[in-house]
Each structure stands twice: as C-alpha cells, then as structure tokens.
C-alpha cells in the first residue's frame, strides 16, 4: 500500500479538511452525554438551578448562612453580596425572576468573577455545615432530615430554621465549629447537592417560579443537544462526501494507470500476468482499495479521536469506574486478536481465489463453441463449481469466524452497562456520584467500545485491501521489456517500407532454445515476401518481431536502413498494417472497426479498403451497411467475414508495410484469389509480408522464404524452390496436383 501513497498527494488538503470535520464530529458526539448528564443532574435533580451560590437571598437567609461559616469566610460573603434595602432599586432581571425581593431587604451576588468563585466555595461549605447541624438537631428530636429527594427543599422548612436563629447566638461556639468542621470534610458533590437544595429554598422564598426555571433549563439544553446533533450529522455527511470523492478519484487514477501500463506491456509481460488476473486487478482489487479509503478516512481517523476523547470524558465523570472500561477494552482486544489470528490467513488468499474464478469463467465463455462441440459442458461446470466452491468456502470460513464478534460485542456492552449501573448505584447511594454522571459514563463506555470495534473492522479491511494494493502495485511496478529509446530516431517524412532482417535470432523468455536462428532477408517495397513452413516452424514468431511485439535476441531488423529498436513504438507501428492470425473485431459498427487503424480515413477510403478485402459485397447486403453493429468480439459475423474486415482495417491505414499473419486461412479459394489480385494493385508501392499455409496463396510472391524449426531452409520464387528446396517441394506436392506443379 505504501507504493500507492503517491496517489494521495492531490487530495492532501481534502484529507486534512476531513480530519478537521471528523474532529468536530467527535467533539459534538462527546459533548452530548455531558449535556444529557446536565439535564438529569441540573434540570431534573436541581430543578434547573445552575447557580452554585444563590444570586439573591433574603436577610434571614444571609444571617443563616453567616451563622455557619468562619469569620474569614463571613468576610468573603459580605464582600461578595451587596445589601439592598427594601424599596431600593434592583436589577431588572432580579425583580423579574424574584418578585418578592423588592419588598424586603435582600443580598445580591456580585458580578466580580473572582469574588463570585470564592463565595461559591464558602456557600458550599456553609451548606454542608448547616446539614450537619440540623441533622444532629433532628436526631435529638427523634426525626431525620433527608436531602436526597427532589422534595428535600420542602422538608427544609426555612421558617423553622429562622426561628432557631436567635438560639444560634446563645449556643456554645464549639457546636457550631464542629458542624463547620464536619461540613468542610464532606464530599464536595454532596455538599454541592445540599447547596443546590438550599438555593432552591432561598429562590422560592423570594417568589421565584422554580418550575419555570426547570422547564427553561431542560428546553435550552435539549435545544443545544439538537443543534449539536445537527452539526455532527452535517460533519458526517461532508466527510462521507469528501471521502467518497477522494476514494473515487484515487481509484480512477489507479485504474487509468494500470490500464495504461498494461497497454504498454509486450507479449512477455502478458505471459507473466494472465488476462483474468489483470481484469481482477483493474476492477475488484481497485474496488477494495476504494472501500478502504472511504472507510479508512471515516474510521481510522474518527475511531482514535472518539476512543481517546471518550476515555478523557469518562475519567472526568468518574475515576473510580474507569477500571470497568479498562477490563472491557482488554477483553475486546483479546477477542480481536484471537479472531484475526484465525481469519487472517484466509483473508490473504481471497483475491487469488477470485482470480481463479474469473479465469475459469472467462475461458468457459470465450471457448463456449469448443466446449459445446466436444460436449464438455459438465466438465466446465465442474471446473467452475470447484473454483466457486473454493471461494465460497473461504468466505464462509471468514464470515463464520467474524460472526462471533457481534454477539460477543453485545454481551460485552450489556455486561459493561450492568456493571456500571451496579457499582454506580452504590456510589450514588453513598452520594459520591450523581445519576446523570453515571448515565454519561455509560454512554462514554459504549463510545469507547464502539471505537475499538471500528478499529477492529478496519483491521479486517486493511489486510485484504493491502493484498489488493500490492497486486495493483505489482502491475504498475512491472517495467515493459520493450520500451521506447531515450533518444528515438525520427523517421523521414516518406517511408519507403524496405524491411531487412540482419542475422536475426530470437528466443522466448525463459526458453532453453531459440525459436528463430540466423534469419536474413530483405522485403522490398512493391514486392510480396511470403513465409511458409510446417506448424511450429516460427512463421508467426518472425512477423511478430516486425512491430516489436517481441524484440530480437540477436541481430537487428531495419526499416529503410534504421534499426527499429531506435524508433518510437508508435512511429514504427504507424508504418505497419498488421493483420493478426486471429481476426479480432471491437464492439461498435463496421465503419468504426475499419477506421480503427486510421481515424482520418474517409468514407470513400473505407469503401475502397472493404472492396479490396472482398468485404464490400456482404457489407452492402446488411440493411445498415457500414453502420451495421458489431457485437463484442465480432460474434455476429462469420469467421471469413471477420477475417476480411480485419484485412480491410489494415488496408485502410495505407501503410508502407503490410503484414498478413495467416490471414487468408478462413477464405475460400475464389475469394482468396480475388483478394490477392486486388491486393497486388493496392499495395504496389508497399512491402507485403504474408504468412500462409496454402501454397496457392503465395505461389505468385516475388520472394518465398521456407522455414523449418526456426531456420531458413529455402529462399526464392515458387519455381526456384520447387527445384532447390525439398521441404517446399513436399509442401507443394501435398497441396497441388501434378498439373499445377508443372
């Protein structure tokens, strides 16, 4: 995969944008449990009162507070609260919220932040001290004060508390000091809760509508949660959009480069990679890389942010419960490790099994006529079934192993939830934790576990995509054996088309013996050079050296005196009208197939090429003539028609060199003869090289070269070879009558 990293460079800024959006999405997701906790803790349990110290309190309330603080803390409260006499002007928000405040003496909290924070700490300690004092007083009277319920403020009868105020000054100072000391030692969360209950009582005393305050707080917080959710959804949508575009762009570039590289391959490279494998690498493998990029951008970056952020937020809610998350993560990682160790070997062979399935399918479909001719449908079905079964069983094994993950994950998450509720409930009972914090901790635990699960899913995708990426990189890294020279020679404006083989020898890659040895001849413009010989004698191999489908092992081939290896491949092949042994047509129409060699060919030139190739008659018989559709591979025309259209395609190039690699084999004798007569006039200025099996096709050639086991055993005209070449004579005698030989 590292070899494909360069394809990410054009999208670096987009990836950074996605990272920023993912960070924003994660922050939104992580803030929601906190807000839900606030709704429970503040909105429900604290009646929507957020103030850690009352912003307004009555004169009696202030007297009650200052009775349970030290002299130093009392000075802080006196500094932080401003006394407002009855009838004195109060801030508008105070009179609106606390309507009874304007008719009595009240104390209003300062806006100075430093003094405000000090007053909040003092108030919390004072609330704790008051709780300790009144609880001990209630026990002496045989009752108990409970501040854990929502109606605690109603139990704390402030009228009764105020009646005790005169007694407080007469009580021993030690009693008050003990209460203050015990209040200072209380758990901060408990003293904070007591302070909130006291604040609610102070507010209700001044006529505040605490129900409206509660509803307002819940509505505001809920609205904020909705907005954050919308922002999170927007970030997720934008990340999905950019990730998809990035992945599609990278995959498009991969497919383009793979196809371009494959088009530059010589026959040697095609011997290394099967056609089915190249198709799989261009399609299925590229899709695997695309899916990894799409999911990777969204998960690989998002999961760690959520995991780390979730841990931080969970620890902020409760350090004492953090061991539960640690245990859950360790168990999850153990499960992932076991599953991967079992499934990973199978992941690595998926792509090769897909290659095999594509190979069998392609061979069966391409050779369907042969399969049916020999009645081997069952055999091909068995081959396909084996390849299909191997792939299916491999995928089933992977899926069966992976299927254990989801139920185990559900069991783990439900177990973690139960454990948090059980232990968190005990802490709530001990006033060491609030209900909302426990609920938020549960959500953070789920987010952390899901983050690790997402990372696990990526570990599933990465190996398979990595294998696919390596397979693509292998194609891209393959350097064609046949390449253009660094400083190519330019062909002259007019190429005569004289081809010269100078002591040429050729050996296929990894072969032990030469396929051709010491081949020397010259094919001159205006003349026909023919090649004949037994099967396997090297005829097709020889002509495939001309357009550099292979390069010579020894010697050289000259075009107008220029070594063809010093030319650009495009320039060289532009001078050659090549008709392969197997006629191949492309999907489109007849005109597009004939124009394939020269796009600029006019309709008149197409007609002329078709006429010379003896294709005009059957083309005109079609209702749509030149616009007649051609199916993929030319399956809707006969073998002879396909061969004639291939010949017409080569003739339309008007090249100085024509190569016909056994291109007349599907033609009847009459059509063959007519084509050769027309061809002699059309190619009078070009060098024509013909590979043939029939002596009648080449007997009028100016030069016939007889090959046997890769060597030239005869060279000359038909009549000369009948006298001088035993091999040619045997071939001619096997095909021609005594009269024709004479």
- Of the listed ranges 18-22, 350-354, 510-514, the least confidently predicted one is 350-354
Shared domain for 663 and 558, answered yes or no, is: yes
Long-range contact list for 371-375, CB < 8 A, 24+ apart?
A: none
Give me the pLDDT at residue 2, please: 66
Q: Final residue of a domain: which of 143, 178, 208?
A: 208
* Residue 25 belongs to some domain of the structure: no
Which pLDDT value is given to residue 220?
A: 92
Residue 615's pLDDT is what? 86
Look at residue 224 and tell me if it is in a domain.
no
Q: What is the pLDDT of residues 658-672, one digit of tens each?
A: 998 887 777 777 887
User: How would residue 142 be classed by pLDDT, with cut points 50, 70 and 90?
Assistant: low
pLDDT of 505 reads 93
**Interatomic CA distance for residues 698 and 532, integer angstroms:** 9
pLDDT bin (cut points 50, 70, 90) of residue 67 is confident
Instruction: Say whether both 422 and 311 belong to one domain.
Output: yes
List phi, psi (to 5°) of 150. Answer: -70, -25
**3 state SS for 644-672:** HHHHHHHHCCCCCEEEEECCCCCCCHHHH
Q: What is the mean pLDDT of residues 518-535?
A: 90
Number of domains in the chain: 3
Q: What's the whole-number mean pLDDT along residues 682-708?
A: 88
Residue-number span of the structural domain to which 302 is assigned = 260-477
Residues 150, 291: one domain? no
275, pLDDT greater than 80: no
pLDDT at 148: 43
pLDDT computed for residue 188 by the predictor: 73
Range 299-328 average pLDDT: 85
Helix ranges, 430-496 (H): 435-477
Distance CA 270, CA 278 (A): 9
423 shares its domain with 525: no
| Domain at 569, CATH number | 3.40.50.300
Residue 674 has pLDDT above 70, yes or no: yes
Q: Among residues of the chain, what percentage have pLDDT more than 70?
A: 94
Residues 559, 565 contacting (CB under 8 angstroms):
no
What is the rounded average pLDDT of the residues 61-86? 87
* Residue 576 pLDDT exceeds 50: yes
Axis crossing angle, helix 12-38 with helix 302-317, rounded to the nearest 10: 20
Residues 381 and 432 in one domain: yes
Does 230 fall in a domain?
A: no
Residue 147 has pLDDT above 50, yes or no: no
Which pLDDT does position 158 carry in this prediction?
A: 66
CA-based nearest residue to 740, from 685, 705, 694, 707: 694
221-243, pLDDT tens digit by residue? Answer: 999 999 999 999 999 999 999 99
The set of residues, in sequence order, having a beta carbon less than 8 Å from that of 250 and lying 6+ positions away, is 7, 8, 11, 289, 290, 293
1: confidence class by pLDDT, cuts 50, 70, 90: low
β-pairing verdict for 711-716 and 687-691: unpaired
Between 84-88, 271-275, 720-724, the lowest mean confidence (pLDDT) is in 271-275
**Is 706 domain-assigned?**
yes
530, 677: one domain? yes
In a domain, 670, yes or no: yes
pLDDT band for position 154 (50/70/90)? Answer: very low
The stretch 1-20 carries a mean pLDDT of 83
- Residue 121 has what pLDDT? 87
- Report pTM: 0.72
Q: What is the per-residue pLDDT for 234?
A: 94
Q: Residue 353: which of 271, 285, 257, 254 has the closest Cα?
A: 285
In this prediction, residue 150 carries a pLDDT of: 43
Cα end-to-end span (Å), the chain: 70
Mean pLDDT estimate for the chain: 84
Over range 632-649, report the average pLDDT: 82
Q: Both 158 and 104 in a single domain? A: yes
14 occurs within a structural domain: no
Token pair 């429970």: residue: 40
* Helix/strand/coil for 711: strand
Residues 520, 379: one domain?
Answer: no
Q: Is 21 left (phi over 0), alpha (psi -120 to 50) or beta?
A: alpha
Please say if the pLDDT value at position 143 is more than 60: no
Per-residue pLDDT, 463: 72
Q: 582 and 678 share a domain?
A: yes
SS3 call for 169 = coil
Whole-number pLDDT of residue 506: 92
Q: What burial class does residue 734 get, using C-beta atoms within 10 Å of its C-beta: 0-12 exposed, 13-18 middle, 19+ buried?
A: exposed
Q: Could you say which of 208, 243, 270 is where a domain stops?
A: 208
For residue 619, pLDDT over 70 is answered with yes
Cα 643 from chain centroid? 44
| pLDDT of amino acid 299 | 82
Return all residues near 510 (Cβ < 8 A) that are at least 6 apart: none
Q: CATH number of the domain at 279, please.
A: 1.20.1560.10
Q: Are residues 200 and 322 in the same domain?
A: no
For residues 273 and 476, what is the distance between their CA atoms, to the nearest angstrom?
12
pLDDT > 80? residue 544: yes
Which pLDDT belongs to residue 455?
A: 78
Q: What is the mean pLDDT of residues 445-472?
A: 79
- Taking residues 548-567, report their average pLDDT: 90
Assigned domain for 429 exists? yes
Q: Can you read off the two tokens belonging to residue 131?
A: 């709780």
- The answer to whether position 560 is within a domain reads yes
- In this structure, the answer to whether residues 168 and 313 fall within a common structural domain is no
């Amino acid at each position: 995969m590292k070899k494909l990293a360069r394809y990410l460079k054009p999208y670096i800024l987009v990836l950074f944008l996605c990272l920023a959006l993912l960070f924003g999405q994660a922050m939104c997701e992580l803030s929601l449990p906190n807000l839900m906790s606030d709704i429970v803790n503040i909105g429900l349990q604290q009646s929507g009162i957020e103030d850690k110290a009352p912003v307004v309190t009555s004169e009696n309330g202030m007297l009650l507070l200052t009775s349970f603080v030290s002299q130093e803390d009392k000075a802080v409260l006196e500094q932080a609260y401003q006394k407002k006499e009855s009838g004195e002007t109060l801030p508008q928000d105070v009179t609106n919220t606390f309507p009874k405040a304007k008719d009595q003496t009240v104390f209003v909290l300062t806006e100075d932040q430093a003094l405000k924070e000090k007053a909040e700490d003092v108030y919390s300690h004072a609330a704790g001290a008051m709780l300790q004092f009144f609880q001990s007083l209630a026990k002496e009277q045989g009752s108990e004060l409970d501040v854990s319920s929502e109606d605690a403020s109603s139990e704390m009868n402030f009228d009764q508390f105020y009646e005790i105020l005169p007694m407080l000054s007469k009580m021993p100072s030690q009693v008050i000091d003990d209460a203050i000391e015990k209040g200072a030692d209380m758990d901060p969360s408990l003293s904070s809760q007591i302070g909130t209950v006291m604040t609610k009582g102070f507010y209700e005393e001044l006529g505040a509508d605490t129900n409206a305050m509660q509803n307002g707080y819940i509505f505001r917080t809920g609205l904020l949660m909705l907005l954050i959710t919308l922002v999170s959804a927007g970030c997720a949508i934008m990340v999905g959009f950019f990730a998809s575009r990035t992945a599609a762009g990278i995959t498009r570039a991969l497919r383009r480069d793979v196809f371009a590289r494959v088009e530059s391959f010589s026959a040697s490279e095609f011997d290394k990679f099967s056609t089915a494998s190249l198709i799989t690498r261009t399609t299925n493998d590229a899709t695997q890389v695309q899916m990894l990029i799409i999911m990777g951008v969204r998960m690989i970056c998002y999961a760690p942010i959520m995991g780390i952020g979730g841990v931080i937020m969970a620890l902020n809610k409760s350090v004492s419960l953090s061991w539960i998350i640690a245990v859950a993560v360790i168990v999850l990682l153990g499960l992932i490790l076991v599953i991967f160790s079992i499934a990973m070997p199978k992941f690595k062979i998926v792509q090769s099994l897909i290659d095999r399935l594509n190979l069998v399918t392609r061979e069966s479909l391409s050779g369907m006529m042969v399969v049916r001719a020999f009645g081997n449908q069952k055999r091909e079905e068995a081959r396909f079934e084996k390849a299909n079964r191997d792939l299916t069983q491999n995928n089933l094994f992977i899926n069966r192993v992976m299927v254990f993950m989801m139920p185990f994950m559900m069991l783990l998450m439900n177990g973690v939830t139960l454990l948090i509720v059980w232990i968190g409930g005990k802490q709530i009972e001990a006033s060491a934790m609030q209900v909302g914090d426990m609920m938020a901790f549960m959500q953070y635990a789920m987010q952390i576990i899901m983050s690790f699960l997402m990372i696990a899913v990526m570990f599933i995708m990465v190996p398979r995509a990595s294998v696919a990426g390596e397979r693509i990189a292998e194609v891209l890294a393959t350097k064609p054996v046949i390449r253009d020279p660094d400083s190519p020679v330019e062909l002259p404006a007019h190429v005569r088309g004289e081809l010269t083989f100078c002591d040429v020898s050729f050996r296929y890659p990894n072969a032990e013996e030469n396929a051709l040895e010491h081949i020397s001849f010259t094919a001159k413009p205006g003349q026909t050079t023919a090649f004949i010989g037994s099967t396997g004698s090297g005829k097709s191999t020889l002509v495939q050296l001309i357009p550099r489908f292979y390069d010579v092992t020894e010697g050289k081939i000259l075009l107008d005196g220029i070594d063809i290896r010093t030319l650009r491949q495009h320039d060289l092949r532009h001078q050659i009208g090549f008709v392969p042994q197997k006629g191949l047509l492309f999907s489109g129409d007849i005109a597009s197939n004939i124009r394939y060699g020269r796009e600029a060919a006019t309709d008149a030139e197409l007609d002329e090429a078709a006429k010379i190739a003896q294709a005009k008659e059957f083309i005109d018989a079609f209702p749509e003539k030149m616009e007649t559709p051609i199916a993929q591979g030319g399956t809707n025309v006969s073998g002879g028609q396909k061969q004639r259209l291939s010949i017409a395609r080569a003739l339309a190039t008007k090249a100085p060199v024509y190569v016909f690699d056994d291109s007349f084999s599907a033609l009847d004798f009459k059509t063959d003869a007519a084509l050769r007569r027309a061809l002699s006039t059309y190619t009078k200025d070009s060098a024509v090289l013909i590979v043939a099996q029939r002596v009648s096709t080449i007997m009028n050639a100016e030069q016939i070269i007889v090959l046997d086991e890769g060597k030239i055993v005869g060279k000359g005209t038909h009549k000369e070879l009948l006298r001088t070449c035993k091999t040619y004579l045997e071939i001619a005698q096997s095909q021609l009558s005594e009269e024709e030989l004479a």
